[in-house]
Each structure stands twice: as structure tokens, then as C-alpha cells.
Structure 1
Amino acid sequence: MSSRTLPVLLGSGVAAGVLVPALLWADGATRPGYSLWHHGASQLGTGERAWLQTINFVLGGLLLAAFAAGVRRALRSGRGATWGPILLAATAAGLVVAGLVPTDPALGYPPGQPHVVTTAGVVHQVAGFLLFAGLSGAAYVLAGRLGQTSRRWVVYSRLSGTIIIVFAFAAGIAYRLDTLDVWRPAPAGLLEHLSLLAGFCWAAALAVHLLRRHAGGPHTSTPSPAARDTDAHR
């Protein structure tokens, strides 16, 4: 892979990190009958303007897949160089499947459609789990590698990984409380949107960080011999 290709692959992470949450929030804030507080992000893939989020998820997933390849190339070897890209690729796969297989109607959206559970809806849920787990896992796995250059990256990556998975689970709990009429309207949508926002902001920040390292010279793309020795003993 040429050195000219790497910035394009890493830049795909910036594009995905901006595109996916921006379109989710903009569409959710302006779509009739949809509530950013109440309804899940996946429900934007149904109802009016469903095509917009189908494109958003699929394109975002393809961009993340390219970014995963870029991260693998940028890190080359050592701590996180294998599993970090693999988890990012899993996130990409989950996002693409979530775009191609829409979720079921729920919580009154799309308006007028009953709450049902279908095979497609189950597939979408599995894809969603892959997305959130992959993104959170990538943040944790890469925290140690990024910490070789800055302690702040350890803190930021682990905090992001925690927010992603905790808010995703909290969204699921809020959704269940809502369907059981315990808490209505519960903030399932807001929690899910915040989880995605934290994850994609982290991905975009990682992409910018690796782009700067690449621009600084080939020697910055790999850990020093001392760092490699340290990793070997961990």
C-alpha cells in the first residue's frame, strides 16, 4: 500500500465520524413524528425519509471499513495493531447490515404502525450489538497503544469506550421500561444517540491523530524499540 493511500484510508475515519452522527441528529430533529428523546437511532431507517439513513449507515460502514484498513496499516505491528482494526471492521459490518436490514416499528414510530417483532428486526438488533460492542471494544483495545504517545489518549479512549457501552445498555433498559409502561416517554433515543455520538467522535479524533503522526514521518507510525520491548513483557 502506497504512502499516498494511507491518508485516504485514515481520512475515511474522519468522514465517517462526522457524517453518521450529523445526519442522524439533523434528520431526527426535523422528521415529522420522530423524537430524539424517545425513538432509537435505528428507527430513522424506517418511515418517512428512511432512504436517507439507509445511505448514511451503509456509506458510514464502508468508510469505517476503509478506516480499519488504514489503522492496521498505520500501526503495522505491536499492541492493538491486530484487534483494534478487527473490532473497527466489526463495527463497520454492523453498521452496513443495520442500514440494509431495517428495524421493526416501535414506540409509536413510524406513526400508525403497530409494534411487531420480525426476523429482519432481530437481524438488525444483532447488527446493532456488533456496532456498539465493536466500537467500544476498539476504544479499549487501542487505549494502551495510543497511551505510548500521550496519557490523555488512554483516558479519552477508555472513557469513550465506557460511555458507548454504558449508554447503549441504558438505552435498552429505557426502551424496555417504556414498552412496559413503567416510564413513558423514556429517553431511550437520547441515550442511544449519545452513545453513537461518543463513539464516532472518538473514531474521528483517532483518525486525525493518526493522520498527524503519518504527516510527521514514517518513524512515528511504529513504536520505538523500547516500547516494543515493553509490550513484549506485558
Structure 2
Amino acid sequence: MSRVPLATTTLLRCGMVAGPLFVAVFTVAGAVRPDYDPLRHPVSSLSLTGAGWVQIANFVGSGLLMIAFGAGVWRVLRSAGRPGIKPWLVGGYGVGLVGAGVFVTDPLSGYPPGAPQEIVYTWSGILHDAFSALVFLIGLPLACLAFTGWFWRRRELGWAGYSLLTAVAFVAAFVLASLGFEQDPGLVAVAGFYQRAALVVSSAWFTLLAVRLHGQRVPGVGDAGPAAARPRGRPGPQRP
């Protein structure tokens, strides 16, 4: 058994950085933006107005780091067997972030000032929501469930339970945020809080998963996979 190779380690470290970077940028940007209420407004609304480029860059940069992390997940899981769909779900989360940055959301909940409370969709906003679905409906929840099974089969019950609880907490927070953004009277004032809770939960799980896989022991030496660990036997007698 050998440690994770350097190239794979670099990709996994992208996963360690992506979540904390994403959360830190949208937290600071939301705190200093005039007329913006982090408890009420979605993270995506930070892409609007003249300073919107900061959050756009945050979406795209964090998404690219997550795509790289997905490649690292594939390399680690490939060395231990068939990777399955798990790396694609991680990478899909990253693609969703990139798309959410490229296609800017529409104004919502009165931000920017003068905007309507209910969203009025443009094509950019529709595509933004479509890519966001890769984050909220596909990438994180299904990745958590897929890794729940993987850790369960490896008898890592703590990680299996943590992955399952992350999926449940993420979906619950996302549903509450969505209801708030639909102007539910009891949730509209805290919709941004619930969305941020979902993103913090997902970012923490991805970060810790990257740390966990970084310490994974893999068969063989280098990136050659399991075949590299099998010693070659001496050739047997040749038949005429």
C-alpha cells in the first residue's frame, strides 16, 4: 500500500480549498454590500450591481476547484476499485457553480433596491437556476448518498452517518430557502440564512471528504493503480 500520488494529492487539495474559499468570499461580500441583507437575499444576488464581478469570480473559481477535486476523487477511487458515479457528482457540483457564475441570476426579494419581490425571469436567470440545480438537486445530495454507501461497505460507519446526515440537512435547508425565495410570509425574511446554511453544510462535507481521501492508502506505487502492486511472476515453461 502507498500514499496518494502527488498529482492526485494536488487535485484533492483543490477540494480542501474550494469550500472555505467560496463561503469566505460570499460572507465578506454580503457583509459589506450596501442594501444587501444576507439573512434575506440569496448568495446569487451578490452577482448583481457593479461589484457583482466578485461573486461571479467566486462562483467560477470555486467551481473550477471542485471540478479538479472531482478528478482527484476519480483517481483515488479508481485505485481502490471502480469509481462509479461519485466523481461525476462531485464534478457536477463544480459545473453547477461555474454555470451559476456565467449566467447571472435575476433580481429577487427587493434587491437591488427597486427590484420586485418576486423574480421576473430572463434567459440568463433561467440558465442560472438550471445550473444551480446541479448544485442543490443533484451534485451534493446524490454525492452524499453515494458516499454513504461507499463508506458503509468499508465499515466506516461514522463517515457513512455523517454523509447521510449532510444530505438530509442540506435538502431541508434548501427547501426552506426555496420557500422563502418564493415569498412565503414566514420564511422570506430568513431565506438567505437557510440558503447559506445549506452551502456551509455542503462546503464542510466536501472539505472534510477531501481531507479523508487525502489520507487514503491506495494499492501500488504511483498512479498505475492496482495492477502496479502485483509482482510479476516468473514465466512458466513454454509449450512447443
Same fold (TM over 0.5): yes
- Distance in 2 (CA, whole Å) between partners of 1:77 and 1:3 is 11
- Distance in 2 (CA, whole Å) between partners of 1:144 and 1:197 is 23
* Alpha-carbon distance change, 11 to 118 in structure 1, aligned in 2, over 3 angstroms: same
- Distance in 1 (CA, whole Å) between partners of 2:127 and 2:82 is 29
2:15, 2:206 within 8 Å by CA — same for their partners in 1?
Answer: yes
CA deviation map 1:139-181 (0-9, x unaligned): 1111121231521101110111111122112111122134xxx
Choose the corresponding residue for 2:208, options 205, 208, 213: 205
1:31, 1:48 within 8 Å by CA — same for their partners in 2?
Answer: no
CA RMSD of aligned residues (A): 2.4
Unmatched 5+ residue regions in structure 2?
227-240
| Corresponding residue pairs, total | 217
1:140, 1:158 within 8 Å by CA — same for their partners in 2?
Answer: yes
1:170 equivalent to 2:172? Answer no
Choose the corresponding residue for 1:150, options 156, 161, 173: 156
One-letter identity of the residue aligned with 2:197: L
* Structure (1/2) with the larger helix percentage: 1
- Distance in 2 (CA, whole Å) between partners of 1:6 and 1:79 is 16
CA deviation map 1:52-94 (0-9, x unaligned): 1111100111000000010011011678822111111111111
- Distance in 1 (CA, whole Å) between partners of 2:99 and 2:207 is 21
Q: Give the aligned partner of residue 193 of structure 1.
A: 196
* Alpha-carbon distance change, 66 to 164 in structure 1, aligned in 2, over 3 angstroms: same
TM-score normalised by the chain length of structure 2: 0.83
1:104, 1:118 within 8 Å by CA — same for their partners in 2?
Answer: yes
Q: Give the aligned partner of residue 17 of structure 1.
A: 19
CA deviation map 1:67-126 (0-9, x unaligned): 001001101167882211111111111110000111001111111334532111111111
Of all paired residues, the percent bearing the same amino acid is 35
Shift of 1:184: 7.0
Unmatched 5+ residue regions in structure 1?
224-234
2:41, 2:191 within 8 Å by CA — same for their partners in 1?
Answer: yes
Which secondary structure does the structure 1 equivalent of 2:183 belong to? helix
- Distance in 1 (CA, whole Å) between partners of 2:156 and 2:77 is 15
Which secondary structure does the structure 2 equivalent of 1:49 belong to? helix
Choose the corresponding residue for 2:122, options 118, 122, 125: 118
